Amino acid sequence: MHKIAVIPGDGTGPEVVREGLKVLRAVGELEDFAFETVEYDLGGDRYLETGEVLPDSALEELRTLDAIYLGAVGHPDVAPGILETGLLLRLRFELQQYINLRPVKLYPGVDCPLKDKGPEEIDFVVVRENNEGLYTGSGGFTYRGTPNEVAIQEMVNTRFGVERCLRYAFDYCRRRDDKKMLTLCAKTNVLTFAHDLWWRAFQEVGEEYPDIRRDYAHVDATCMWMVKNPEWFDTIVTCNMFGDIITDLGAMIQGGMGIAAGGNINPEGVSMFEPIGGSAPKYTGKGVINPLAAICAAAMMLEQLGEHAAAERLEKAVMHVTGEKLKSMAAGKMGYSTQEVGDLVVEALG
């Protein structure tokens, strides 16, 4: 029995999570696995009512579950940073979800903004380091608000953190069994300390993986190649900030935020899965948001929970729905409501 924490969160989060859970129940019946959910009302509304973002007691409970399924974090009435750092980043750090895994895969029938590129060309995975880099909150101000102000935000790279991320990426690339090529995306020509560490660790760890070809691209060039020759890539490994940026680009070339999913993974602990688009306040409550990203996140969660057949079945169902049913991935343009898209996936599972 898998115990899954559900954090519907803000905005359209609850709407897409509802569809994700519906699909999970359906695939659970077909593939014969059971799960129970524990719901947490964390997010902007709770914060506005009580001032609490993530109570320690909730965090301690989350540590004991098998996975976390997250809708969205971000509320128009809450100042930027409070929920992001207090909830999302705190969970990533406290639960040592040191990998952010983001597949960039164009499904059949999905419009791609790149000319002459289709599902054959767009199928790679970004392994983003998720616990370090520019995200640790290390740094500070002096003379804040004065003309002499200094703001420093430090990029933290530990050999330990970088190495565990690289190992995960090499292992993942091996398991993926595609081109067997791992691209390090960094900026060694400018970040001559931080990314020198990445570069050396990449070469040294890479020696243990003679079957995996090592490739390198600066982050700016990576953006260029993702648009020009996305078919080049197999698995990309990169630091936290660069991974954040290139995966938004990745989401666009795979059809947009309506379909892009990711997993915050602690391979030895509790992982958290989420659609990577935000809370989309302007679509909230209208039943027009695309739930496929959340459904794909549920498929990634099944994979992590060891339900491989169910994960595969679910992904196939999603591909059927994109290929045969949906007019567009964009909110309000799918030709179906949020709930109907969930129903279509359930139907396609059969």
Q: Which residues bind Mn ion (CB under 5 A)?
A: 244
With binding defined as CB under 6 A, does residue 303 bind ligand IPM?
A: no
- Determine whether 248 is an active site residue: yes
CA distance 169 to 128: 9
| Residue tagged active-site, from 40, 135, 168, 209 | 135
How far from 282 is each of 9, 31, 277, 288, 338, CA to CA, in Å? 15, 37, 13, 10, 15
Closest by CA to 252, choosing from 230, 269, 284, 280, is 230
Active site (annotated) includes residue 135:
yes
Under rule CB under 6 A, residue 31 binds ligand IPM: no
Q: Which of 256, 262, 278 is nearest to 329 (CA)?
A: 256
Options 22, 69, 98, 187, the catalytic residue: 187
Is residue 343 at the binding interface for ligand IPM, with CB under 6 A as the rule? no
Give the one entry of ligand IPM, Mn ion, none that residue 88 binds, where binding means its C-beta sits below a cut-off of 5 to 8 angstroms depending on kind: ligand IPM
- Quick one: which H or E segment has residue 8? strand 2-9
327 flagged as catalytic: no
Instruction: List binders of ligand IPM among 196-255 (CB under 6 A).
Output: 244
- Return the residues of window 269-288 that contact ligand IPM according to CB under 6 A: 276
Question: CB under 6 A: which stretch of 26-34, 83-91, 103-111, 168-176 binds ligand IPM?
Answer: 83-91
78 binds, among ligand IPM, Mn ion, none (CB under 5 to 8 A by kind): none
- Which of Mn ion, ligand IPM, none is residue 84 near (CB under 5 to 8 Å by kind)? ligand IPM
Q: Report d(CA 322, CA 316) in Å as an integer.
A: 10
CB burial readout 201-216, b (16+ within 10 A) else e = bbeebbeebeebeebb
Write out the catalytic residue numbers: 135, 187, 220, 244, 248
- Residues forming the site for ligand IPM (CB under 6 A): 84, 88-89, 244, 276
